[in-house]
Amino acid sequence: MTTPLLFALALLQEPDATSTAVQTTNGSAIVEMLHNSGPVAFSVLILLALSSVFSWTIMIAKWRSFSAARTGSTGFLRAFRKSGRLSEIATVAEQFKPSPLVAVFTEIHDEYLRQSGGRGLPRNPIALDRAAQTASSEALTLMERRLTWLATIANTATFIGLFGTVWGIIDAFHGLGTAGAATLRAVAPGISEALITTAAGLVVAIPAVIGYNQLTAQLRDFGARMDDFGRELLNAIENAAMLNLPGDDPRILPPASDPRRRTF
């Protein structure tokens, strides 16, 4: 009873040295396992590292582009509310080009000009609606580019890591059978080295899954906003065309004092 008590007191007196020793041992063990990994496991780790870099590159690029699109949409809507004429909005629309709402507005405006020359009611409102849907679909397709790679990495990284683990375990048991020493000490190093690939696969897959889900949710939000903006713009054009006199440059919004002014 005296020896365990003295050992416990010694550990309590030198906690820093003990923790440092444990951390050093763990770090050196991981480095040693990586160094002793076979060619298959090492190839799997290299592939997972490249996949991680690629997935993080996609996520960072998409977050930046989506942030720019959100900022552009806010500015475009602000300019849209201040200016009530189609010609004025078309002039400033290019300044907010990262916004997908600009593509929807441009497509509707061009179709409206083709139908009526920018005056009066559109002859075919259904065509305007189809133009808005086409612009929304094209904008979403452009924003979704390379997201399939992110989904592929999220779904396959764990399986790639598992393949490295299975191969490492097979190799470890094969070596155990060749050596003929059926002990835990003989098989443990090979199994621990093999499990590194599974851990690496999880490290790659988890951020990719989270990033893909978050980016997909933002895409759905952009799609809903584009659909809402397209419908509101079509309604505003039709209402304003009935209020304006023939030959006037159509105001898509009534004056600020008019109670019929639309808000977005």
CA 121, CA 93: separation in Å to the nearest integer?
A: 22
Contacts of 160 (CB under 8 A, 6+ apart): 44, 47, 48, 51, 197, 201
Q: What is the mean pLDDT of residues 157-183?
A: 77
122 pLDDT band (50/70/90 cuts)? Answer: confident
Higher pLDDT, 203 or 81: 203
187 pLDDT band (50/70/90 cuts)? Answer: low
Closest CA to 192 of 20, 5, 34: 34
Fill in the amino acid letter for 89: I
pLDDT at position 30 over 80: no
Q: How confident is the model over 205-231, as pLDDT tens digits?
A: 999 999 999 999 999 999 999 988 888
Closest CA to 191 of 210, 209, 206, 170: 170
15 pLDDT band (50/70/90 cuts)? Answer: very low
pTM, entire model: 0.73
CA 82, CA 170: separation in Å to the nearest integer?
A: 70
Residue 24 CA: distances (Å) to CA of 31, 32, 131, 196: 11, 12, 64, 18
Q: What is the pLDDT of residue 259?
A: 41
